[in-house]
Amino acid sequence: MKQQAATAGVLVAIAMAIAPLCAQAQKNARTAWGDPDISGAYAEFTTAPLERDAKFGDKEFFTPAEHEEFAKVRLTQAFDADDTEPGTQEDVHYSMGQFALSENEGVTSLNLRTSIVTQPKNGRIPPLTAAAVARRDALAATRKGKEFDGPEMRSLTERCILWPSTVAPILPRGYNSNLQIFQSPGYVIIQGEMGDPRVVPTDGRKLPDNLLPQWNGTSVGRWDGQTFVIETAGFHPQTAWRGATEKMRVTERITRLDEDTLEYAFTVTDPDTWAEPWGGVYPLTALGALLYEYACTEGNYGMANILSGARKGERETANP
Partner 1 sequence: MSRILAVSVALLAACAANAQGVLTALPRAANGRPDMSGVWQALNTAHWNLEPHVSAYPVVIELGAQFAVPPGKGVVEGGTIPYLPEARAQRDQHFENRLTDDPEGKCYMGGVPRSTYMPYPFQILQNERDVVMVYQFATAFRRIFVDGKEEAPLDSWMGWSNGRWDGDTFVVEVTGLNGLTWLDRAGNYASGSAKITERYQLLGPNHLQYEATIDDSTVFSRPWTIRMPLYRLVDADPRFLEFKCEPYAEEKIYGHLRKPGTAAPVGASSQ
Between 115 and 183, whose beta carbon lies closer to partner 1? Answer: 183
Give yes or no for residue 316 binding partner 1 (CB under 8 A): no
Other Cβ atoms closer than 10 A to 232 = 26
In the complex with partner 1, which residue's Cβ is closer, 106 or 123?
106
State the helix-helix crossing angle for 2-22 and 64-80, rounded to 10 degrees: 140
Report the C-alpha gap between 61 and 116 in whole angstroms: 11
Instruction: State the Cα–Cα distance between residues 253 and 111, nearest whole angstrom.
Output: 18
Sign for the CA dihedral angle at 150, 175, 251, 126 comes to positive
d(CA 129, CA 119): 17
* Residues of this chain, 69-128, that bind partner 1 according to CB under 8 A: none
Q: Amino acid identity, residue 93?
A: H
Q: How far apart are CA 100 and CA 78, in angstroms?
A: 12
Phi and psi torsions of 268, nearest 5°: -115, 135
Residues 132-151 that bind partner 1 (CB under 8 A): 146, 148-151
Stretch that binds partner 1, among 74-82, 112-120, 133-141, 182-190 (CB under 8 A): 182-190
Residues in 277-296 at the binding interface with partner 1, rule: CB under 8 A: 292-293, 295
Assess 304 for contact with partner 1 (CB under 8 A).
yes
- Binding of partner 1 by 15 (CB under 8 A): no
Smallest separation, CB 304 to partner 1 (Å): 6
CB closer to partner 1, 76 vs 216: 216
Which of 11, 176, 2 is CA-nearest to residue 82?
2
- CA–CA dist 270, 247 (Å, integer): 6
Q: Report the residue from 13, 29, 50, 307 that binds partner 1 according to the rule CB under 8 A.
A: 307
For partner 1, which residue of 127, 186, 204, 288 counts as binding (CB under 8 A)? 186
**Least distance CB 187 / partner 1 (angstroms):** 5
Minimal distance, residue 294 CB to partner 1, in Å: 9
- 91-124 as b/e: b if 16+ CB within 10 A: eeeeebbeeebbbbbbbbbbbbbbbbbbbeebbe
Contact of 163 with 190, CB cutoff 8 Å: no
* 214 contributes a contact to partner 1 by CB under 8 A: yes
- The separation between the first and the last C-alpha atoms of the chain, rounded to the nearest angstrom, is 40
Window of 1-9, 10-18, 45-53, 187-195 that interacts with partner 1 by CB under 8 A: 187-195
Q: Smallest gap, in angstroms, from Cβ of residue 201 to partner 1?
A: 7
Name which position in 7, 24, 28, 31 contacts partner 1 (CB under 8 A).
Answer: 31
Residue ranges that bind partner 1, judged by CB under 8 A = 31-33, 146, 148-152, 159-161, 182-187, 189, 191, 196-197, 199, 201, 212-216, 236, 238, 292-293, 295, 297-298, 303-304, 307-308, 310-311, 314
